Chain A
Amino acid sequence: MRHYELTFIVDPVLSNEEIQVVRQTYEDQVKKLGCKIVHVDDIGLKQLAYPINKRNSGIYYSIEFEAENGEAIAPLELAMRRDERIMRFLSIALDKFGVKYNEDKRNGLIRKTQRQRRKTKSPELVAPIAAKIPELLEEAIEPIVDEDVIL
């Protein structure tokens, strides 16, 4: 028995029901090919890093399933290639560490990595200081103005 993972991007222009239909179609097809579905990960709407088929976002789904051998992959890929509702797909075989990782992820043992950004001060931290700047400036200028140094 091997675990496989089929990730695909559904066109976001479709209505919610149509998207559910797409998902259901592939779930049924995986089952019909004699595979056992382990988990369907609904990743949801995500911004794409580059446009695909002139779309800038996509709805991600990831089906993890268990199969005796890889025979089920070819018909699934063929169906996805023919399907216009699917923008991209990727099917991979998981090794034992991948299976363990997905299981841990489902049980919430793996936390999401935080996006690392360039070291900039967050607006919440900067705001109170920024609000004070005019006051501070005035205070600094006041003695100068009093002494008529500017003139």
Chain B
Amino acid sequence: MASQEDIKFLSNPNIGKQRKKYCRFKKFGIRHIDYKDPDFLAQFLNEQGKILPRRITGNSLKYQRKVSEAIKRARHLGMLPFVTDLLK
């Protein structure tokens, strides 16, 4: 018979636990966001080419503003689409 202590770990306690989100710019010390790098900026877009909100990307407010500015510049220069389907 399994004792009470063994049963505690029969299911993985890490499943279903939310990983803490973080701002990658703060974490990796990125200070400048290049508007000429559409492949990098595409990480912050959804499939329709819309900018993802902070609650999903985890960016800090300061860098979210910079990301959105860079994306808008890239759109103006035809590097990213304004509207699309199946971007990824």
**When the two chains form the complex, which single residue of B35, B40, B77 contacts A113, counting CB atoms closer than 8 Å?**
B40
Closest to B81 in A: A49
Interface centre among B32, B38, B75, B80 (most CB of A within 10 A): B32
Which B residues touch A114, using CB under 8 A?
39
B78 touching A52 by the CB < 8 A rule?
yes
A113 to B34, CA, bound (A): 11
Which A residues touch B37, using CB under 8 A?
112-113
Taking A98-B32, A113-B37 as contacts, is the C-beta distance between A58 and B78 under 8 angstroms? yes
**When the two chains form the complex, which single residue of A48, A62, A97, A118 contacts B31, counting CB atoms closer than 8 Å?**
A97
B77 touching A117 by the CB < 8 A rule?
no
Taking A49-B79, A52-B78 as contacts, is the C-beta distance between A62 and B73 under 8 angstroms? no
B23 at the interface (CB under 8 A from A): no
A45 at the interface (CB under 8 A from B): no
A92 to B69, CA, bound (A): 12
A119 to B10, CA, bound (A): 31
What per-residue 1/0 map shows which CB atoms of A1-40 lie under 8 Å from chain B?
A: 0000001010000000000000000000000000000000
What per-residue 1/0 map shows which CB atoms of A61-101 lie under 8 Å from chain B?
A: 01000000000000000000000000010101001011011
What per-residue 1/0 map shows which CB atoms of B43-78 lie under 8 Å from chain A?
A: 100000000000000000000000000000101111
How many chain A residues touch the partner (CB < 8 A)?
27
Which A residues touch B76, using CB under 8 A?
88, 90
A145 to chain B, nearest CB (A): 43
Which B residues touch A88, using CB under 8 A?
76-78
B46 to chain A, nearest CB (A): 13
A50 touching B78 by the CB < 8 A rule?
yes
A144 at the interface (CB under 8 A from B): no
B27 at the interface (CB under 8 A from A): no
A13 to chain B, nearest CB (A): 16
Q: Which residues of B contact A (CB under 8 A)?
A: 31-32, 34-40, 42-43, 73, 75-82, 84, 88
5 nearest A-B residue pairs (beta carbon): A97-B31, A101-B32, A48-B78, A97-B32, A113-B40
